[in-house]
């Protein structure tokens, strides 16, 4: 099993550009999460999903969108990138609510 995979690993965007961060898990987990990690701030939840077709906002959803058309995939869309979105983004999955989360390796995004 590959676990949770994320692409790309690194990306530089210009202000106003858009992009999609990809996340795929092969563990058949219903729950999936997107976090951003800024220095000294731990992890902040952006969006999460409890199953295909169901998504909900986390603590910091503004400027992002998600979709969950399959159990395996949970892409994160950035529209009109801003410097404040410079961060490391982690995708995670878990078999149940508030159980062990399995994290991907992260995507380091810089917006200039």
Partner 1 sequence: TQLLEQSPQFLSIQEGENLTVYCNSSSVFSSLQWYRQEPGEGPVLLVTVVTGGEVKKLKRLTFQFGDARKDSSLHITAAQPGDTGLYLCAGAQNTGNQFYFGTGTSLTVIP
Residue 62, interface with partner 1 (CB under 8 A)? no
- Cβ atoms of residues 31 and 93 within 8 Å: yes
Q: To the nearest whole angstrom, how small is the minimum distance from the Cβ of residue 14 to partner 1? A: 25
Q: Which stretch binds partner 1 (CB under 8 A): 15-23, 60-68, 76-84, 92-100?
A: 92-100
| Nearest one of 35, 31, 45, 51 to 97, comparing CA atoms | 31
Output the CA–CA distances (angstroms, integers) from residue 43 to 14, 18, 38, in the order listed: 24, 23, 7
Task: State in angstroms the smallest separation of the CB of 23 from partner 1.
Answer: 11
- Token pair in block for residue 47: 């969006």
Residue 35, strand partner residues: 45, 90
Sign of CA dihedral 84, 87, 90, 96: negative
> Of residues 34, 35, 64, 74, which one binds partner 1 by CB under 8 A?
35
Among 16, 53, 95, 105, binds partner 1 (CB under 8 A): 105
**Contact range with partner 1 by CB under 8 A, out of 19-27, 51-59, 61-69, 73-81:** 51-59
Given the rule CB under 8 A, which of 15-23, 43-51, 67-75, 78-86 is the region that contacts partner 1? 43-51
């Amino acid at each position: 099993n590959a676990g949770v995979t994320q692409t790309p690993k690194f990306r530089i965007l210009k202000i106003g550009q858009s992009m999609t961060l990809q996340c795929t898990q092969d563990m058949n987990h219903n729950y999936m999460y997107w976090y951003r990690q800024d220095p000294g701030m731990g992890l902040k939840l952006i969006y999460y999903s409890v199953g295909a077709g169901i998504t909900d906002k986390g603590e910091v959803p503004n400027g992002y969108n998600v979709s969950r058309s399959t159990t395996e995939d949970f892409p994160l869309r950035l529209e009109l990138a801003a410097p404040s979105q410079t961060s490391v983004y982690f995708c995670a999955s878990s078999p149940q609510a508030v159980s062990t989360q399995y994290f991907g390796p992260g995507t380091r995004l810089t917006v200039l």
